[in-house]
Amino acid sequence: MNVLIELLAFVVAIGVLVVVHEFGHYSIARLCGVKVLRFSIGFGKPLVQWVSGKTGTQWTIAALPLGGYVKMLDEREEGVPIPTAELPHAFNRQSVGKRIAIVAAGPIANFLLAIVLFAVVFATGVTEPAAIVATPAPDTVAARAGFDGGETVVAVREGDAGESEPVRSWSDLRWKLLGAAFDHRRVVLSAKDGRGTFDFPVDLRGVSDKDVDDDFMSRLGFEPGGGTLSVAGVEAGSAAQQAGLQAGDRLRAVDGKPADNATTFIAAIKAHAGKPVTLRIERGAQGQQPGTLENIVIVPAARRDETTGQQVGRIGAELATQVPSLEVRYGPLESMQLGARRTWDLSVYSLRMFGRMIVGEASLKNLSGPVTIADYAGKSARLGPSAFLSFLALVSISLGVLNLLPIPVLDGGHLLYYLVEAVTGKVVSDRWQLVLQRAGLACIVALSAIALFNDLARLIHF
């Protein structure tokens, strides 16, 4: 059943994104007076096709739904005689400005789709963790800023004199810190606790682009807090079982330090390989009804970390975290503004990540192919409409950014030809175009092979 959901969600996602992308090309081509011969969704054998009596365009749905294309009237197509009356409607007869507009319309359509999808998510409301900061690890950016844990971030401003922007949720906080980290800025977070509201200067000027990844919030010391950390299960014969830890126990502290998130707890356990650690637990709690507080001394078993090669502690307990959440909803205008900002931020992030992979500062394992996309499509679809729409927006941005890369055979490669023509007044020769097309095709094949390898590596864990 899960495979069927993933497959269906993947087909829907790819279908929507391809139609939007190609319709961008189609609509601007028609606006510029270019005759469109075929609009195809998918490749290979046509399953359904019909011809528009008004435009003469052949609309096709093909067997392999992994892309699509728009075929326009063009004199460069060999073996296709074009009547003299239709020559003004050929793509190659258009001005360089019109050709740039037609080619750029596909990626732009993807970005516009992302803006609309994000706006729908923001306007309809989404449930997110509250912006409550957990106890940060020592010597992290959050700890140096003065956070003790339990503070709720309510606003952020640039430097000491900037205008404050409200922070509504953990996701909102993450995006604001992500933007500041990209720009290497110093920001001030306003947060409140039981004593009042205080300012916390967060210096992100020393954060490198290499540090800005999926785990950058944890690396800065920011973890969602204010909730409960519980034991979901205990392995037979493990250190946790030997010490008497039970499923359902709520973890309150580790050696006297609050334990309100899994990251901090796991880090503390890893640091005590073969050494005793005292856990403060609450046993027998039911909902809001408190349980009995107990201290348990446990000696984590020493295990070799496959990444670092060092000995780390492990107790053999499965953890479950519950953090306070809230429904975040925005007005129509604000939703569109936030959708545009989120699309811009993700586009910049994608470009920077790709650049880091090219220069070797980021792993090529970050590339994903159709298997991973199908997996995430299914997972997001099961989470609900908001998650699936956000996933569609993310992939639409990735498709737009990818197509704008200056690689021949992609839209960005064609745009590069036309920009050269606009600057020099000369069309790039057929010989050079052929050489660059082959080089571009080799790049695409290499990237596709790497992405597919990464998919298989994730699937079979090698």
Which amino acids are annotated catalytic? Answer: 22
Neighbours of 321 (CB within 10 A): 20
User: Is there a contact between 3 and 371 (Cβ–Cβ < 8 Å)?
Assistant: no
Phi, psi of 152 (to 5 degrees): -105, 115
Long-range (24+ apart) CB contacts under 8 A made by 291-299 are: 291/250, 293/252, 296/243, 296/244, 296/245, 297/243, 298/239, 298/240, 298/242, 298/243, 298/245, 299/239, 299/243, 299/272, 299/274, 299/275
Residue 128, beta-bridge partner list = 326
Of residues 180, 303, 183, 317, the one with CA closest to residue 242: 317
**Coil, strand, or helix at residue 134?**
coil
The closest of 8, 29, 83 to 411, measured between CA atoms, is 29
Instruction: Name the token pair of 449.
Output: 């092979």
Judged by DSSP in three states, 221 sits in coil
Q: Rounded to 5, what percent of the chain is helix, strand, coil? A: 45, 25, 30
Burial 99-112 (b: 16+ CB within 10 A, else e): bbbbbbbbbbbbbb
> Can you name the residues that pair with 312 across neighbouring β-strands?
303
Helical (H) or strand (E) element with 219: helix 216-220
